[in-house]
Amino acid sequence: SNWLFGEAWHTWVGTNSAVFTNANNWIPAGVPDSVAHLLVDGFYSNAPILSGTATVMRMMVGGGVTTATLTVNGQLTMLGDLEVLTNGTITHSANTSSETNKLNLIVGSNLTVSGAINVDNKGYLASGPGYVGYYSGSSYGGQGSGKGLTYGSITAPTNCGSGSREA
């Protein structure tokens, strides 16, 4: 990654809570905004959770020796680059019988992923548009298991997968 030394980077420390928009969870303190360059490197007290929407200039997740996870339950817009580096993961919280949590990323420039964007097992639990019964998980835009149905687009997913059974 090319570092822009004139830009101020905010590092997530999560000392007060997991709330992404809490200014005191960042060093230097400040609510992330459209000019913010953010780093979530895994050295934190609480992993960040964004509920709702946020727009930032640039973000890096991971890259350190510890695991860094960013949970987005809404929309995160990067006007510039998003880099999900080694040991970095972006995900959303699990759903149950309704599609409450979704990961919606908008990247204005480059997206680099050497870590993971992972929403495995985060769809509906024993319900959803493709649900046909126990042990028949359905997939949004891919292949389900058992008798599961495939629905939606694999190239433009907008909904979560359907679960097959209770946890």
Tens of pLDDT, residue by residue over 9-26, are 999 999 999 999 999 999
Confidence of residue 143 (pLDDT cuts 50, 70, 90): low
Confidence of residue 157 (pLDDT cuts 50, 70, 90): confident
Give the predicted TM-score (pTM) of the model: 0.83
| Cα(102)–Cα(43) distance, integer angstroms | 25
Enter the tokens of residue 78. 């990067």
Determine how β-strand 88-91 pairs with β-strand 116-117: parallel
Section 21-37 average pLDDT: 96
Residue with tokens 């080694």: 86
62 has a pLDDT exceeding 80: yes
Q: Are 86 and 113 in contact (CB under 8 A)?
A: no
